[in-house]
Amino acid sequence: MVTAICLLGDSMLYVALPIYWHQTGLMSLWEVGLILSINRFVRLPLNPVMGWLYTRISLRTGLLVAVALSALTTTGYGIAQGLWMWLILRCIWGFAWSLLRLGGLMTVVTTAEDHNRGYLMGTYNGLYRLGSLFGMLLGGGGATLIGIEWVAIIMGAISLLGVPLILLFVQPRTAADPSRSKAVHSGSLNWKSPALWKVMSSGFLVSLLFQGVLTSTLSFLIDYRFTEEVRIWGITLAAATLSGIIQASRWAWEPFLAVKFGHWSDGPNGRMPWFCSFLIIAAFGFGCIPIVMSIYWWIPVMLLVMIAATALTTLMDTLASDCSKNTHSISVMTLYSVVLDFGAAAGPMLAFLLLTLQNGLLYTYWGGALIFFLLCILWFEKDTFRDHSTITSSAARNG
């Protein structure tokens, strides 16, 4: 819940800033892309540093620092004017998020046992994604009603509610508790493994297109295609509000659908039929997004894309876990986390650079559709189907 509260301001920016950037002292759209990306680039070298830091300080201390920085940066969004001040705030948020994310994962690891680790990890992911849900819903509508400045200041104040939660429920002990540590794979990481690079490159592209491109450009797309105010079913919605509703729908169903997709991929047919099917669905959806059509057709297409995002993100994480089974697990998952952050960071910058071109929307989304289709071809191999079916079937037999 602390992580969810601190995510409010960050999630709000993805729907409000692409529409109301002129109110924040920014001069062009490429600056918006840079601001939405820079915190992820900062996290790339910070994740290993945060892991080391948590062996030196208590979990409570790390989380308190993260909450303080989150409140500072979110409130700062309400008063920041100009590119450099925004970049400084987003870099500080990158530091805060690294502390929050690693602290949350360490909490699960040190609390969980073998029989409930998956349940607790799913609970953690579902709870903190509520921050994205309410950040996008309240951020999109609030920026339209009272302005992005006041929304940011209010969300910054709400972030401070994390302090009493930490003091009440987080024990003042070192996060890296040696008594709770488990043995990990001792095998070395095979950098020449085709499977490793297949997973890493796919993870990068899926993150780039969903977490980077789609998340950061959706409100701009609605504003461009349907004007700043959209009338649907007799209700007039601002572009930022509609964008927030569409993106928040994913966070509303993700705690439920993600579990279902993961469970189905454990079945006798393996992960590949599901993975390739949703790659095709994502390719179709991305191809349709920039096409001029009625809002009543466009919204179902967007919801289909959001369902594909839930499925592909879940299955991609599972494939990375499969890849780490017979090698150094920590190294694989750390590399995978860095790759995802890099993809999510590169997405907004790439998208807003393309949007400055004539027909930039077509280049952005039709290019994304082509990437999804090529990924489907890459994974659609008989050997791949057989290997993953064997893995999942063996896991099912072993309970």
Based on the fold, state whether residues 164 and 200 are members of the same structural domain.
no
Distance from first CA to last CA of the chain, Å, rounded? 32
* 397 assigned to some structural domain: yes
pLDDT at 75: 92
Based on the fold, state whether residues 89 and 215 are members of the same structural domain.
no
As to burial, measured by CB atoms within 10 angstroms (0-12 exposed, 13-18 middle, 19+ buried), residue 393 is middle
Indicate the residue among 136, 171, 206 that finishes a domain: 171
pLDDT along the chain (399 residues), means of 10: 90 81 79 82 79 78 92 89 88 89 70 55 72 80 81 90 90 52 48 79 92 83 68 61 75 78 75 90 92 81 91 80 63 75 84 83 91 91 45 41
Based on the fold, state whether residues 350 and 236 are members of the same structural domain.
yes
Indicate the residue among 137, 171, 205 that finishes a domain: 171
Lookup result for tokens 């080391």 = 52
* 279 assigned to some structural domain: yes
* 227 assigned to some structural domain: yes
Residue 205 belongs to what domain range?
193-399
* 292 assigned to some structural domain: yes
The 8 Å CB, 24+ separation contacts for 161-170 are 161/5, 162/1, 162/2, 162/5, 162/6, 162/63, 162/67, 162/70, 163/64, 163/67, 163/68, 165/1, 165/2, 165/5, 166/2, 166/60, 166/63, 166/64, 166/67, 167/60, 170/59, 170/60, 170/63, 170/107
pTM for the whole thing?
0.69
pLDDT at 236: 58
* 15 assigned to some structural domain: yes
pLDDT at 110: 67
Based on the fold, state whether residues 119 and 212 are members of the same structural domain.
no
Cα gap 31→115, rounded to integer Å: 47
pLDDT at 360: 82
* E strand or H helix at 150: helix 148-159
* 183 assigned to some structural domain: no
- Which CATH number goes with the domain that contains 344? 1.20.1250.20
pLDDT at 47: 73
Based on the fold, state whether residues 24 and 123 are members of the same structural domain.
yes
For residue 166, count other CB atoms closer than 10 A to its CB.
Answer: 19
DSSP state, residue 82: S
Cα gap 221→118, rounded to integer Å: 37
Based on the fold, state whether residues 371 and 230 are members of the same structural domain.
yes
**Would you say 270 and 385 are in contact if contact means Cβ atoms under 8 Å apart?**
yes
Based on the fold, state whether residues 109 and 221 are members of the same structural domain.
no
Based on the fold, state whether residues 98 and 205 are members of the same structural domain.
no
Q: Enter the tokens of residue 128.
A: 């903190």
* 185 assigned to some structural domain: no
Indicate the residue among 119, 138, 171 that finishes a domain: 171
When divided into structural domains, the chain yields a total of 2
* 24 assigned to some structural domain: yes
pLDDT at 231: 63
Based on the fold, state whether residues 243 and 363 are members of the same structural domain.
yes
Based on the fold, state whether residues 136 and 228 are members of the same structural domain.
no
Based on the fold, state whether residues 146 and 198 are members of the same structural domain.
no
Closest CA to 361 of 289, 309, 295, 305: 289
Based on the fold, state whether residues 221 and 287 are members of the same structural domain.
yes
What separation in angstroms does the CA of 178 have from each of 109, 116, 175, 226, 343? 12, 20, 9, 56, 33
